[in-house]
Amino acid sequence: MIYSPRILRNEINTPTVNSLYFKLDIPVEPGQFVMVWVPGKSEIPMSLSMIGEEKCLTVKKYGDTSNVLAATKPGERIFLRGPYGKGFTRVDGKILLVGGGSGMASLRPMFNENAHGLIAARSQDELLFKELFGSDKLTVATDDGTSGIKGNIVEGMKVLDLESFRMIYVCGPERMLKSIVDYVSDKKINMELSLERSMKCGIGLCDSCSVDGLQVCRDGPTFNLEEVKKMEEFGRTRLSESGKRVWFQ
């Protein structure tokens, strides 16, 4: 079943990220994803950054398909199927949302008054959704030092009392997740990570997104820290479009 809602508004978040708002009455859990089809281009997996009756797709412009999608005008249609995958576990109490790159998009539905944010980006104008958090509940790290701590996301984690959070939710590119997992490996924390791997089918058939025999599209995309620690392939190898094994640099 392909849904084809019309866009209500297109909001610019950063120089490389736009958010498309639309109404679609289907239940979605935070952390689940949809496959978004741009006819004539391709189909890409994306998480939803709002999951109520009004929904939102937050699009990072990184290629042909996402560039066309990000330019969708109000009144035009988008095409998607899903939702797919396993969402995040919800807990009561203090939580930490850790988003690298456009990672905060899939964490946005988890935002509440008990949430602290850690956002990392290359530069200050690429910090996504930092306006969600009050200044006392936000930690920022930038590679170029234009905002917050100068350094990567792990430098940002070092200034936080990680063990004080009931759950830490993390979303970002796999190399970033690997550095986080290595950093927290000896800490007593609860953490769930949303893995990003290239997907073709989204429904557990094609094997493109598999890690250690688990399908990110079906067993994930969210996994708890203990599951991730056991994965031999995590942060080390993946399969390319053809199925050829390649190593993370």
Partner 1 sequence: MSKPDISTSAGSLQLSNPFLLASGILDENGYTMRRILDEGAAAVVTKSIGMEERSGYKPPIVSVDDPIVINAVGLPNPGILNVGNEIKIAKKSGKPVVGSIFGKDVNEFVHLAGKMEEYGTDAIELNLSCPHVKGFGSEIGGDSSLVKEIVENVKGSVKIPVWSKLSPNVTSLIDIARAASDSDAIVLINTVRGMKIDIHSGRPVLTNRLGGLSGPSIKPVGIRCVYEVKSSIDIPVIGVGGIESAADAIEYIMAGASAVQIGTALWKHGRGIFSKVSNELEEFMAAEGYTKIEDFRGLALT
| Least Cβ distance, residue 169 to partner 1 (angstroms) | 24
By CB under 8 A, residue 244 contacts partner 1: yes
Which positions from 25 through 64 interact with partner 1, judged by CB under 8 A? 35, 37, 39-44
Residue 91 and residue 167 in contact, taking contact as beta carbons nearer than 8 Å:
yes
By CB under 8 A, residue 67 contacts partner 1: no
By CB under 8 A, residue 213 contacts partner 1: yes
By CB under 8 A, residue 201 contacts partner 1: yes
Prior bond to 221 cis, omega within 30? yes
Q: Pick the closer one to partner 1 by CB: 163 or 232.
A: 232
By CB under 8 A, residue 76 contacts partner 1: no
Closest residue by Cα to residue 248 from 177, 200, 183: 177
Question: Residues near 219 by Cβ (< 8 Å), separated by ≥ 6?
Answer: 86
> Six-digit token pair at 89?
């576990």
**Which of these ranges, 135-143, 150-158, 221-229, 234-242, lies near partner 1 under the rule CB under 8 A?**
234-242
Question: Residues near 170 by Cβ (< 8 Å), separated by ≥ 6?
Answer: 98, 99, 103, 177, 180, 191, 192, 193, 194
By CB under 8 A, residue 212 contacts partner 1: yes
Q: Pick the closer one to partner 1 by CB: 33 or 129.
A: 33
**Residue that the structure tokens 């391709």 belong to:** 42
Residues that bind partner 1 (CB under 8 A): 1-2, 4, 35, 37, 39-44, 77, 79, 81, 199-208, 210-215, 218, 232-233, 239-245
